[in-house]
Chain A
Amino acid sequence: MLGLNRKDSLLFVVVICLTMFAPFLLNPFPEGSELAQFNAGYPDLMQRFVIFGIFAIGFNILFGLTGYLSFGHAAFLGVGSYAGVWMMKLLTMNVIPAILISVVVAGLFSVLVGYISLRRSGIYFSILTLAFAQMSFSLAYSVLTPITNGETGLQLSLNDPRILGVSEVDGSIPPANLFGLSMRDSTELAMGNWLFTFNVGYYLSAVVMLIAFYVAIRIFRSPFGMMLRAVKSNQQRLNYTGLNTKPYTLAAFVISGMYAGLAGGLMVAMDPLAGAERMQWTASGEVVLMTILGGAGTLIGPILGAGFIKYFENIFSKINESILHQWFAFLPDGLEDALVFMVYPFIGKGWHLTLGIMFMLVVIFLPGGLVEGGQRLGRLFRRRRKTDTKPGAGATEPAE
């Protein structure tokens, strides 16, 4: 299908199903129940899942294929966001120009950063990109305040020109839209106690992510992708054979920068604000975490990692002490307090701690990330099934 081999087509179809049915899959618990706390099927978080998925897919093209660890990728996301908001301020609230300009500006910026940083490899490359990102962050935070609005973040205002659109509608800023279809619009489907929300913004982001994912698969399977893998495994040998690797690595860097810009553009399309913190080194570190957690160099890994981290950030951080007390209310008082005291440091504001522990466990026991975990489970399952059935039954597999 679409020029993909069997395995990749299957993966792509699975990803399509997951994203299209996300509102159902992420809301497994009925409204009002104790477990509704763990539902993640509300528009903002679903948008974040796919947008950070795009960011991580792009990062993976650089890190997973070439092995160049960029510690400054958030800068491209931030630059893209600023470009997108400016487009909405100056041109129109339609999200298409905003997203396009985000990709273009992030691409240009990554050409500049990549051209300089790729003169070095390994740790020096990482440090250079980190330096660029921190520089961008500091600039955005203070020096470039007229363009970026500093700490407050760049936002829309009622007196923006919006040449192709309108400045205001009845004293309100018009909502971001796709040819009149507002990103905020949602339809809800109530089924018994379950409530599912279908949001326009989410589906736009999901479609964009699917396209981005498809492009990533094609890059992974292309001769170009093979070249990048060669760079990862032994760049020196490539150089000795007379190949100039620089154009390949720079292309990979720019592509992944454009992915970051695309994510930035989508973020402002969903929520028209660009803050400088988006470019901070912690944000760059987050995408590294996502990729490694999910499985660097795999296709689906980064998306899983992104979803995992965003889920923790948004769901676990909101569990507070009183909710814990509710959960353990059935226990005797002393025991309840003791249990709350033990669990509390790991949830709510302690979600970083839990995430850190998870990350350590994954890196130590599953170096290939969540994808490796899935593969191991799958293998275990298959082996069991194989021992159940008679030997020889497995031999009917068609030869490729």
Chain B
Amino acid sequence: MSKTDLTRRGVMKTGAVAGAGLAVPTIFTARSASAFVNEPTGGSVTLGFNVPQTGPYADEGADELRAYELAVEHLNGGGDGGMLSTFSSKTLDGTGILGKKVEYVTGDTQTKSDAARASAKSMIEKDGAIMITGGSSSGVAVAVQALCQEAGIIFMAGLTHSNDTTGKDRKANGFRHFFNSYMSGAALAPVLANAYGTDRKAYHLTADYNWGYTTEEAITSATEAMGWETVETVKTPLAATDFSAYITPVLQSDADVLVLNHYGGNMVNSLTNAVQFGLRDRIVNGKQFEIVVPLYSRLMARGAGENVKGIFGSTNWHWSLQDEGSKAFTRSFGTKYGFPPSQAAHTCYVQTLLYADAVQRAGSFNPCAVVEALEGFEFDGLGNGPTLYRAEDHQCFKDVLVVRGKENPTSEFDLLEIVEITPVAQVTYPHDHPQFAGGALGSCNPGV
């Protein structure tokens, strides 16, 4: 075998590659021609809708996607315009954003941080998305928000309820319209005190992940402040489907309230187990045993069926609200899809509109200009009453709904009734509140 021959060829090939490598800097132009990443140059602008299409939150993801498609239709002047007509800012006129037609790409987060980031990255690098939005889990929201900060893209969070998204993990390029654990606690506590009294003993079952922790902390501190006692807090694995083992100790304790810091399928299963064990028929310390679910959604209520009747919880928005914005949104969503929107759909729709409006007002797609336009922005007519996008942490401050499972639902969508609309002042907190401390927005990043 002639080895020298091969070596020569190898050397020549290596040489050619090295030569090409050396020539690289002379023929390539760096991407510094534009002022910011993915500056839209043609007649259209691309938004990235990154939602869970598979996995435990796929239902919510599907509803979010419907809302996004509706928002794009309205921004481009199609349909009945939805909330564009009720929105207090009148800059959006149905001609797209800054005259550019809105197009979109979709991706699957799989409710995994890694997959969500991969999907968001491909939207940024391949499809040239100028804004990423969506998600139905706080872990994903925090991960994608950090990615967008690094890449110089605006992130409009979808459904994310953990304090951390605008607390310790807040980022200058990220914005959240949805409410958070603290607000749930602050809104629920007075209602619970009214309904169940101030000398209750609470037992917490908490989903063992980030959102569970912040919710447990928010609810315990809010209820303890009005006199409740926290007997025990128990963490349950996220993958658990049978909660009997966690419910039995509740029966043996002297607690008279069970708080389920669970979401999605977890909540459906734990609530069903709790009801099956007869917790709601119990009398402890001379009081009726009660169950509380801090974060409610219609999709969960439907999963739990009969069991949600009379159970208190909080929610960001509900389609039965009677203000003009909510009515307009519910109408156009219902016309297009045949059923009312969920709160996830609402927050995603609103986020898209808010982004489009901010670009329109700023007159530029530059992330830094958009951040400036959104910070401290006050608006109304999007279903939650007067709302403020606070500059310090990019969190929306608005009324919070306390809801209860309806005793006599009239349809499969009419499962929750609004007990109280907690005014925004009651759920507002300083941006350096201990539950939100430890984060810093940093400065906006245009990516170049």
Question: Which residues of A approach B to under 8 Å, CB–CB?
Answer: 1, 5-6, 9, 13, 16-17, 20, 39, 42-45, 48, 138, 141-142, 145, 149-153, 155-159, 168, 170-173, 175, 184-190, 197-198, 271, 273, 275, 277-278, 313-314, 317-318, 320, 348-349, 352, 400
Contact = CB atoms under 8 A, between A and B. Distances in A.
Nearest to A315: B122
Given A141-B208, A157-B169, 17 more contacts: A5-B1, A6-B6, A13-B13, A44-B121, A44-B125, A45-B122, A142-B208, A151-B113, A151-B138, A152-B138, A157-B440, A171-B441, A172-B150, A184-B151, A198-B24, A349-B53, A400-B1
B142 A152 contact: yes
Interface in B28-53: 28-31, 53
B107 A318 contact: yes
Given A43-B125, A188-B31, A273-B117, A9 B443 contact: no
Which 3 A-B residue pairs are closest in the complex by CB-CB distance? A171-B443, A275-B113, A151-B209
Interface in B434-448: 439-443, 445
Nearest to A27: B126
Given A159-B440, A172-B442, A1 B209 contact: no
A189 B27 contact: yes
B7 interface: yes
20 contacts: A1-B6, A1-B10, A16-B13, A16-B17, A20-B17, A142-B208, A151-B139, A151-B210, A153-B142, A157-B169, A170-B443, A172-B445, A184-B150, A187-B30, A188-B31, A271-B121, A275-B113, A275-B139, A314-B118, A348-B108
Nearest to B20: A20
Q: How many of chain B's residues touch chain A, expressed as a range?
A: 35 or more
B146 A13 contact: no
B235 A142 contact: yes
A149 B7 CA distance: 51
Contacts of A151: 113, 137-139, 209-211, 238
Nearest to A320: B106
Contacts of B115: 277, 313
Contact of A152 (B13, B25, B210): B210
Given A13-B10, A152-B164, A187-B31, A275 B143 contact: yes
Contacts of B150: 172-173, 175, 184
Interface string B306-348: 0000000000000000000000000000000000000000000
Given A45-B122, A349-B53, A150 B112 contact: no
B79 to A, nearest CB: 15
Contacts of B105: 318, 320
Nearest to B141: A152
A336 B211 CA distance: 43
Nearest to A48: B118
Contacts of B13: 13, 16-17
Contacts of A45: 122, 126
